[in-house]
Amino acid sequence: MNSILVTGGAGYIGSHIIEDLIRTKSKIFIFDNLSTGYKRLINKKAVFIKGDIKNYAQLLKIVKKFKIDSIIHLAACLNIREAEKNKKKYYQNNVSGTLNVVKCCKNASVKNIVFSSSCSIYGNTYGAVDERKKANPVGYYAYTKYEGEKIIKKFEKKFKYNFAILRYFNIAGASKSKKIGEINSSHGHLFKNIAIQSLNKEPLINIYGKDYKTKDGTCVRDYMHVSDLSSAHIKALNFINNKSKSITLNCGYGKGYSVLEIVKIFKKINKKLKINFAKRRVGDASSVFADTKKFNKTLKLKMKYNSIKKILLSSIKWEKVIGKKFEGISRNS
């Protein structure tokens, strides 16, 4: 692979993938409209192009100009609650935008595409879920990610590319470099919110829903450190490139933790923490965690951060960095 384009490469997950990719011999390009990403997170060793995946002509021009042979497609709208209120926006970005990326694969002879999908396509599950489970998206965001998957699969043979669909479970934490991490907290991510509250004198955590059919009534999730997820992208890209074979994989650690369990782990770190139970959020599934047998067998990835405490501590360390370096910055600065 000579040239790799990462759509959404200025975002939280994208910036971690770029940090790993620049250690390879490939030329790395970032295509991002900075709607959720930040220019300050962009690694200077990568080439940045400000652009939007909804603009097919612009995207194709860039893919051809830099002779891109592989695309890691992350660019998407992500807010579950916003998706229910603005379905047109989410369809245009997550579905139509993905179709534009796929059309570029055809018209610019791109060989590989890694697609960022979501465990939300499974809907409500009980116990570990593997990749063979029939999709049952809960909420409009999940629907758009599933439609994106279908587009990727539909054109694989016709457009002659290999794909890796990576179904993220819950991603958290920050790079040990302390240069990149999650800035935007609007999505209600648990670890991000805990990290923010850790800096307050009287920390308060909202738990959305306490009447789910789980062991303690709160949602159960499989949490994965963003740096391990980043490594999974590199491994998956190498796999499909070397094997000329497409794959669909769950990305998680294979263990479910309830929201209340996570909060109690944090409470051991900060005993002042107070808990507030709020109403359920629309689109939240009750219990989702990964069966990772296929992931482990295929990628043989050695996890470095498979610990809730490690994820929490890296999130808190990053939040301290944000307070000093990122407060009040614009996305374009």
CA 47 vs CA 31, 63, 137: distances in Å: 9, 13, 36
Q: At 332, list the tokens.
A: 């374009």
| Torsions phi, psi for 224 (to 5 deg) | -130, 140
Give the C-alpha separation, 107 to 121, whole Å.
29
pLDDT score of 204: 85
Average pLDDT of span 137-154: 96
> Which band of pLDDT confidence, cut at 50, 70 and 90, is reported for residue 203?
confident
Instruction: Report which secondary-structure segment, H or E, holds 223.
Output: strand 223-225
Average pLDDT of span 227-232: 98
Write out pLDDT tens, residues 22-63: 999 899 999 999 998 888 889 999 999 999 999 999 999 999
| Torsions phi, psi for 129 (to 5 deg) | -115, 130
Answer yes or no: is pLDDT of 309 > 80: yes
Q: Among 43-52, 183-192, 245-254, whose mean pLDDT is lowest?
A: 183-192
Domains of the chain: 3-172+222-251 (3.40.50.720)
| Torsions phi, psi for 37 (to 5 deg) | -95, 170
Q: Among 38-52, 104-118, 145-159, 201-215, whose mean pLDDT is lowest?
A: 201-215
Q: At 129, list the tokens.
A: 């879920």
Residues acting as catalytic residues: 141
> Which band of pLDDT confidence, cut at 50, 70 and 90, is reported for residue 1?
confident
Do the Cβ atoms of 38 and 62 come closer than 8 Å? Answer: no
Alpha helices (H) along 8-86: 12-21, 56-65, 80-85
196: left (phi over 0), alpha (psi -120 to 50) or beta: alpha
State which of 50-54, 177-181, 199-203, 308-312 shows the largest mean pLDDT: 50-54
pLDDT score of 29: 98
Write out pLDDT tens, residues 107-141: 999 999 999 999 999 987 777 999 999 999 988 99
End-to-end CA distance of the chain: 31
Nearest-5° Cα angle at 115, 46 to 156: 115
Q: At 192, list the tokens.
A: 């991000």
Answer yes or no: is pLDDT of 202 > 80: no
Answer yes or no: is pLDDT of 284 > 80: no
SS3 140: helix
Average pLDDT of span 131-160: 95
Write out pLDDT tens, residues 252-281: 999 999 999 998 888 888 878 888 999 987
Q: Provide the 10 A C-beta neighbour count for residue 64.
A: 14
Q: What is the DSSP letter of 10?
A: T
266: left (phi over 0), alpha (psi -120 to 50) or beta: alpha
Instruction: Give the residue, 273 or 96, on which the prediction is more confident.
Output: 96
In sequence order, what are the residues at sequence separation of 6 or more whose Cβ sits closer than 8 angstroms to the Cβ of residue 43?
Answer: 15, 18, 19, 22, 28
Answer yes or no: is pLDDT of 247 > 90: yes
Instruction: Report which secondary-structure segment, H or E, holds 162.
Output: strand 162-168
* Portion of the chain with pLDDT greater than 70, in percent: 95
Tell me which residue of 79, 237, 73, 257 sits closest to 164, measured CA to CA: 237
**Across the chain, which distance is largest between two alpha carbons, in Å?**
58
pLDDT score of 172: 94
